[in-house]
Structure 1
């Protein structure tokens, strides 16, 4: 049963446990590959996680002249391969979501690889396994469909990962709470 990372943006409490867990994932060299964005710190305490959406046809991989960015059979778009990356930074420019980062010391691009060492075996990525507010969840297509049926919104308004920027994505982000005006009380 294929599972996907599912994000409920309005649940984020800004605890940043996902960031701490990311550094502990195998192969990350203690480097954080996700981010938590303060939406408007002068007005509210609302935060949201930012991570690679693992596009089905990723601009980062298409723009790489060295073919250093590989797509795993699970759909995860992996960080640049050390032995192939030439440090051109095309991937960081091409990504419409601004996710890949470039490490000038290592001359290498890095980004979320969906904890491929875990997810290829059906184990949730580190960020989803520690999220206390269920902002980040590891769900099957059936579980995502059940969540979707709880909201009376048009299909194209239910998730942000629709074909507007990069076609489909392997990470689904729900928007009903935001579109329906759900406000969090902190």
Structure 2
């Protein structure tokens, strides 16, 4: 994978432009495949995007008895194939992040596929192409490494998903949170 989705969660302002863009991606049938979570709505306005982290060895695919969840050569974990999905919902239970959703009308699982029609050609996923605060970015590994050095955060604290599902193709950073730094927008 030449480029990866990179998330700087502390930048999220809850505008939800990523959600609107997601519905416009080819093949999504105007379905939103990402989410914006209100962290503590009774206390503050902090939000964060939630989306598939495209695990290298995804629990959703491992749990699928019909092999309906395929992994693209770029590392993107795709939604269930219509012709193979049997509607067992094992994938929705197996995902440690709670990302796959099940459409009971279509009897089919759907989730973020990194806008594979775009990202396979190096074009940013829709969510990253519209994010006004750079919460969602489409970067090379070298660009991500430069950001990591800028914040001087150890590698084991850089990717938050490392303890749940080992390696993921999406990188998530929390340097401001880990170092107690508050960003001003």
Aligned position for 1:31: 31
Counterpart-to-counterpart distance in 2, 1:152 and 1:84: 45
Question: TM-score when scaled to structure 2?
Answer: 0.97
Who is 2:170 aligned against? 171
- Is this contact kept in 2: 1:3–1:138, CA < 8 A? yes
Greater than 4 Å deviation, 4+ residue runs: none
> Within 1, Cα distance between the matches of 2:137 and 2:153?
21
Deviations 1:23-63 (A, max 9, x none): 00000000000000000011110100000000000000000
Task: Confirm or deny that 1:124 pairs with 2:124.
Answer: yes
2:180 aligned partner: 181
Indicate conservation of the 8 Å contact 1:161/1:171, yes or no. no
Aligned residues: 185
RMSD of aligned residue pairs (Cα, Å):
1.1
1:115-153 per-position Cα deviation (integer Å, ceiling 9, x unaligned):
000000000000000000000000000000000001222
Q: TM-score scaled to structure 1, two decimals? A: 0.97
Deviation at 1:185, TM superposition (A): 5.4
- Structure 1 residue aligned with 2:82: 82
C-alpha deviation, 1:166, in angstroms: 1.2
C-alpha distance after superposition, 1:152-172 (max 9, x if no partner): 22221122132x111100000
Matched, 1:66 2:70: no
Matches within 5 A, 1:38-117: 38-117=38-117
Q: 1:87 Cα deviation (Å)?
A: 0.2
Cα distance, 1:184 vs structure 2: 4.9
Distance 1:21 1:134 in 2: 15
More moved, 144-153 vs 132-141: 144-153
* 1:7 alignment partner in structure 2: 7
- 1:54-79 CA-to-partner distances (Å, cap 9, x unmatched) read 00000000000000000000000000
